[in-house]
Every structure is written in structure tokens, then in C-alpha cells.
Amino acid sequence: MKALILSGGRGTRLRPITYTGAKQLVPVMNKPILWYGIESLVAAGLTDIGIIINPETGEEICTKTGDGSRFGAKITYILQTEPAGLAHAVKTAEAFLNNNPFVMYLGDNLVQDRLDTFIYQFNSECLDALLLLKQVPNPSAFGVAQVTADGNVTTLVEKPKHPKSNLALVGVYLFSPAIYGAIAKISPSSRGELEITDAIQQLILDGKYVKANELEGWWLDTGKKDDLLEANRMLLDTSLVKMPIKVEGRDSQISGRVQIGSGTTIVKSVIRGPVVIGHNCRIENCFIGPYSSISDDVTLVGTEIDHSVVLQGARIEDINCRIVDSVIGQRAHIRTTLQRPKALRFLVGDDSQIELV
């Protein structure tokens, strides 16, 4: 069995962060979102992995992720020249998949459940497709499945106005080679894309064996700022392990689950976990509150921040009110002399400069 990760999307919902980089490389808990998916697949024994990329961000993904050796995998990059849908991505990868069954994993999704159980079910029951589902409060925003009591999928509808269930399609699918024939029979949707939901519905019409299984743990789609922050919060809550702290600094208070990278200096600051801080940062006269991830080479001076993600090389100086619920891009520079606001919220792209006066 092979694996296919889709990382070709343009990330329009995360702009301006994604104007200058791939959304799948935006870090949560200081690690690119894409890498969590790779690690999950490798943990399930899938080490032959194809990654769909696009012309705009593909080079960055290739450079930062590499050949897969750091994960114990072999990665093949596959160029999808146009954003023509998930089923089109599978069609583009057909030569790599080489008539093998495969797991398809959307590169901006995070899933808590291990994949081993689902792979075992798929293989032992000789399925043509196994869909992972999760109950959601807003099914109209997702592909929605109707499932019988024994797990057989009867219908799929993409973003229905009047959903008949609250079971959303999670961004992980398991397919047999039958999916290629189903994709060959479908036409582009009103969006001009080959929809994977239409291809799966075609499998059902063709009498193929399509079942679903509901996730027990959390599922996070990181396509928007608030979703990204929630992913960061959830991972810090469930995955962060307190490590011995050895940093340069003085007169500081560090409590809770906190990880701090080498070369980081902390002076006259308060840090309350869960918090992760990268390497070679300078933290001075700051308060860093729970659910914050600070990447490498960040400078924070005279700043209060919590529930936020700060990307590599950013500088935040002399902020006289608390920054909350924010994503600050790489090398962004923010400073202010304002004293009036109670809190600030930002979604700041790479290399931005903001001065509040």
C-alpha cells in the first residue's frame, strides 16, 4: 500500500500568510502541518509516499521536507499543474500509485487517531474505499455522508444546503485501484473540479464496497486562522511534554509544560505553559501565556502574548497591551507606543512591518 498526500492547494483562506509560502508548511507547535501527516503515515507502516504539489509552492515544500529520509520514508513529488480537484490529483498521481491501494491524506489536516486500525479494516474486509468521518456541528461546510447501521456508505454530498447527516468527510481516505475507473467516469463539478465525493459516489453506483468508520479522537482542518490556532492549542494540550529547561537568562518565572530551544535567552519574563519556544530567541520583559508557539530566531521585547503562533524571525517590541489569538508571519516586525487598547489580534504575513502610533 502506498500513501498520497495532497499539498497542492493555494491556501486562500490563510492569506496573507500564504501569499509567500505553502499553507501546509505553516507550523503548529513549531512543526509544519504537513510533517504531522507524514509522521502519521509512517507510524502506520506506509513509507512510500507521494506528495502532490503545485507550481507556486512546490519548490518550497520539496526543499523543506526533503526526500523523506528524516521521517524514515521515501517521498516522490508529483506536480499538479492546475487546481482541478482532489480526484484530479489522484488521476495526476496514477503513475506513482501504479495500480496499488493507497491512503489519501489532505496535507492541511491533523488527525489524532492512529491509522493502523483503519488500514487493517480496509485490507481485511477487501474494501474499495474506506472513508473516515467525524460528527460536526456545521455539516454544510463539508462533504457529508449517509451511512447505514453496519457502516456502508449510501450517499455523499459535497457541502449540502440541507445536510441529511452530521457526518463530515475527514481528509483521510483509503482506496483500492477501483477509484481510477470511477474517476474516469465523472465530469467536473460546477466549480470546474473533479470532486472526490463524485468519484466515491460513482464507486457506490458501480456496486463497489464502500464503508465508513468514525474517528474517536479529534480532527482539525487548519485552513483558516482560528482553525490553525485551535490546532496549535490542541497539540500543545495533548502532545507537549515538559522538558528540562536550560536557557540563558535571569529573573524569570517559568511554569507548566514549557519547551525552550537551545540558544534562547529569557530575561525578566513570565512564561506559563503549555508553551513551546524555538531556538535562538530573545525574550525580554515579556509575558507569554498558554497555547503560544514561538518559532526559531524570534525577538520579543516588552510584549504580552497568549494563544498565538509567531513564525520564524519575527520581532515584536514594546507592545503596551496583550496580543491574543494571532498568527504573526516570518520576519514580521510589530511595534507600538499605543496605550489605549486592551488587546490586539493580528493575522500578519511574512516580512510585514506594523507600527501603531
Write out pLDDT tens, residues 87-107: 999 999 999 999 999 999 998
The answer to whether residues 68 and 49 touch, using CB atoms and an 8 Å cutoff, is yes
**Would you state the pLDDT for residue 344?**
73
Per cent of the chain over pLDDT 90 is 55
- 266 neighbors 260 (Cβ within 8 angstroms): yes
How far apart CA 210 and CA 36 sit, in angstroms, is: 27
Q: Could you tell me whether strands 143-147 and 153-158 are parallel, antiparallel, or unpaired per DSSP bridges?
A: antiparallel
For residue 202, the model assigns a pLDDT of 94
The mean pLDDT value for 146-157 works out to 88
* Band of residue 248 on the pLDDT scale cut at 50, 70, 90: low
In whole angstroms, what is the distance from residue 314 CA to residue 59 CA? 23
Mean pLDDT of all residues in the chain?
87
| Digit-coded pLDDT (tens) for 28-51 | 899 999 999 999 999 999 999 999
Q: What is the pLDDT of residue 224?
A: 75
All structural domains of the chain, each given as residue ranges with its CATH number in brackets, are: 2-236 (3.90.550.10), 240-356 (2.160.10.10)
Task: Look at residue 232 and tell me whether its pLDDT is greater than 80.
Answer: yes
pLDDT over 90 at 26, yes or no: no
Q: What is the pLDDT of residue 114?
A: 92
* Residue scoring higher pLDDT (345 or 168): 168
Cβ–Cβ < 8 Å for 245, 258: yes
Tell me what the mean pLDDT of segment 166-185 comes to: 94
**In sequence order, what are the residues at sequence separation of 6 or more whose Cβ sits closer than 8 angstroms to the Cβ of residue 306?**
287, 288, 289, 290, 291, 292, 322, 323, 324
- 269-283 pLDDT tens trace: 999 999 999 999 999
DSSP strand pairing (27-28 vs 31-32):
antiparallel
pLDDT of residue 156: 87
Q: What is the pLDDT of residue 281?
A: 96
C-alpha cell at 265: 535567552
User: Can you give the pLDDT at residue 10?
Assistant: 57
Instruction: Please classify residue 137 by burial: count the beta carbons closer than 10 Å to its beta carbon, then call 0-12 exposed, 13-18 middle and 19+ buried.
Output: exposed
What pLDDT is recorded for position 62? Answer: 94
What is the per-residue DSSP string for 168-209? EEEEEEEE-THHHHHHHH----TTSS--HHHHHHHHHHTT--
For residue 92, how many C-alpha atoms fall within 13 Å in the half-sphere facing its CB? Answer: 26
